[in-house]
Structures are given as C-alpha cells and as structure tokens.
Homo-oligomer: A and B are copies of this chain.
Amino acid sequence: MNRTLLAILGVVCAISAQAKIVTQTVEYQQGDTTLEGYLAFDDSITGKRPGVLVVHQWMGLTDYEKHRAEQLAQLGYVAFCADIYGKGVRPKDTGEAGPLAGKYKGDRALLRARVNAALDVLEKNQFVDSKRVAAIGYCFGGTTVIELARSGADIAGVVSFHGGLDSPTPADGKNIKSKVLVCHGADDPFVKPSDLAAFEDEMRQANVDWTLIKFGGAVHSFTQPMAGNDNSKGAAYNEKADKRSWEAMKAFFAEIFK
C-alpha cells in the first residue's frame, strides 16, 4: 500500500528471521507409562510467552507435528508436541495406527489423562506463561484437543484441524472453559453429518464460545502433504485450506493471547 509501511514491515520480517529455534526431546510420565514429547521455542526471546500444545494424528508423533511445533516457535510461542501413545510406540503404517487410535478414542478417560499429562509438561515449562496456553491437533489430535477441553482444562483455546468431532458423552460440553475453533474440510467423508450436527448441538447446549470453519473443496487431512492430492480417497492435502486454516489459527491466538 505504502512504501514506508512496506519498508518497515521488511524490517519486522528481518527481525523474525533472526529467531533461534531450540528443540528438545522430553520424557514424561502418565501413570506408569513413559511418554516422549518434543519441545520447540525461540531462544532469542526473553521472558515468559504463550504456550501451544500440539497433538499428533493417528500415526503418532512424527516429523510432521515437530515441524508444526517449530513453526509455532517461529511465531514466538513455546510449542510442545504431546505423545499420546507412549515412548517408542510409533505405528509403522495405517494398519497399526487404526487400532491404536481406536483404543484411545474408545477410552476417552485414558485419552484425557494422556493429553492432560502433556499439557502439564507445557504449563510447567519455565518459558511458558501458564495463563496463556492453547492446544491444537490434527485428525486424531483434533479429537484429542476437543476432548482436552471437555475434560475441563483451564486453557485459553483449542483448535482442531480435520478432527473427529463425535463424543460418547455430549453432556461433557458443559465442562468446556476454553474457546473452540474447528477447522473442517467441507467434503470430509470421515466426519459424518450427524457427528457435525451433534457437535454443534453440544457446543450450543453448553454455551461454549465456538467457531467452525468449513473449507470448500477440502477433505480429511487437508493440512498434510503426505496425504497426497487425490480427494477421491477421502483424505488429501489442500494447500489453500492448509494456509487459510493456519491463518485462522493465528488470528484465534491473537485474540485469546491478548
């Protein structure tokens, strides 16, 4: 718009480019189970800052989530990737991932315990302002962060990217204290219309502060390049929806971390 403005924004970008991202593998416990998460933060920032928990899709904690954590660290947040499955439990293919994800989706109490254990690690991190914490998740992780909210976690917000939205106990919506943003592929065949409707009703009944974005032309896994580009498979990457949902998340954080 304006050359002076552009020049100044150029300086801002240059400053951002000086970020020094530090990453660490972090072991922690839930009950008797050892879990292995992944921390990322910008070492050039001093003082406490907001924290963002990142919950993995059904394949477990992979480089994908680690990269998201690094992106969040570049935005100035302390990011911590949860490990829901346990140290060393990393499915080698979808055949192994299905039953694992199913186990936790079928035992929401255990799922809540696992995600809350990861939240606890993040909130106790020395650089995290524990009053400004959010959680994001992909697919299975999207379900998990909504389940985290349903567990009554006292955090600022959760963001689900193409997560399953069903709940065996819809009345638990009343426990939700955090704001909820759902980024949903409008053509996602893995989230039934009845699940979507039930989710909306759960939010309404419980008077939750919620927003749902439907991305046209997007199916399941729309943020994940490894899903390929064939919508007919029901899961595929969609660059526009990926970028737009990331921007929506940033706007959500700008609001809740004020």
Residues of A within 8 A of B (CB): 1-2, 4-5, 8-9, 11-12, 15-16, 45, 49, 76, 180, 186-187, 200, 203-204, 207-217, 240, 243-244, 247-248, 251, 255
Other-chain contact of A217, B2, B15, B209 (Cβ < 8 Å)? B209
Q: How far is the CA of A212 from the CA of B219 in the complex (A)?
A: 15
What is the oligomeric copy number? 2
Taking A204-B217, A211-B244 as given, write out 13 further A-B residue pairs in contact, using a Cβ cutoff of 8 Å, ordered by the A residue number: A1-B76, A2-B76, A5-B12, A8-B8, A200-B214, A207-B217, A210-B217, A212-B216, A213-B213, A214-B214, A243-B255, A247-B251, A248-B248
Other-chain contact of A204, B16, B186, B203, B208 (Cβ < 8 Å)? B186
Q: Identify the 7 closest CB pairs spanning chains A and B, nearest first.
A: A210-B216, A1-B76, A212-B214, A213-B213, A247-B251, A203-B216, A8-B12
Q: How far is the CA of A76 from the CA of B4 in the complex (A)?
A: 14
Known: A8-B12, A11-B8, A207-B217. A255 touches B244 (CB 8 A): yes
Chain B residue at smallest Cβ distance from A186: B200
A212 surroundings in chain B (CB, below 8 A) = 186, 213-214, 216
Q: How far is the CA of A251 from the CA of B244 in the complex (A)?
A: 8
Q: How far is the CA of A2 from the CA of B18 in the complex (A)?
A: 12
A200 surroundings in chain B (CB, below 8 A) = 186, 214, 216
Q: List 22 A-B contacts (CB under 8 A).
A: A1-B45, A1-B76, A2-B45, A2-B76, A8-B8, A8-B11, A8-B12, A186-B212, A200-B214, A204-B216, A204-B217, A207-B217, A208-B216, A211-B213, A211-B214, A212-B213, A213-B213, A213-B214, A244-B251, A244-B255, A247-B255, A248-B251
